[in-house]
Amino acid sequence: MLPMLAILMALGLVGCASNQSLPPASVTTWQSSHSATPEDAATADRLWQVFERYEGTPYRYGGTSANGFDCSGFIATAFDEALGRQLPRTTSQMLASGDVVGRDQLRAGDLVFFRIKGKDQHAGIYMGGDSFIHSSTSIGVTHSSLNGYYWRDRFSQARRFD
């Protein structure tokens, strides 16, 4: 009886410790909670479609394709495919372009930048709420929370490319 109880307890703990991603927020949910303009909602929808096509694609330094993306390669590809816009290729070039946006003024499609090891070296695309999509070195193309334990204290700035 005791070994069976131990097995059942172990199975229960495995279920609690799973590291599953939440599905992307729907555009409808995003709209209703953020008073989005129709243009913002359309931008978010097109970017989610690109995200869903590449979700899980591995991280690859210098990568710009379905074989692998670095963070700026994913951003450039997403903007090109979803919005027909060409952005600078590297994070440092992106930081030198666009308009600075306050964190409280973020709109879907704004780029968010994070300071890691003392410099701005990671970026993603803000999607509304506190969500952003990006290519993470550990997970590949994924979505994360700006307020997540890793990202909340590393956020440094945002840029808008209209």
> Collapsing DSSP states into helix, strand and coil, what is residue 135?
strand
Query: Could you tell me the CATH superfamily of domain 38-160?
Result: endopeptidase domain like (from Nostoc punctiforme) (3.90.1720.10)
For tokens 């003024």, name the residue: 105
pLDDT band per the 50, 70, 90 thresholds, residue 16: very low
Catalytic residue status for 34? no
Catalytic residue status for 134? yes
* pLDDT for 59: 98
Measured CA to CA, the distance from residue 47 to residue 79 in angstroms comes to 8
pLDDT band per the 50, 70, 90 thresholds, residue 35: low
Higher pLDDT, 155 or 13: 155
* pLDDT for 162: 86
Q: Is the pLDDT of residue 19 over 80?
A: no
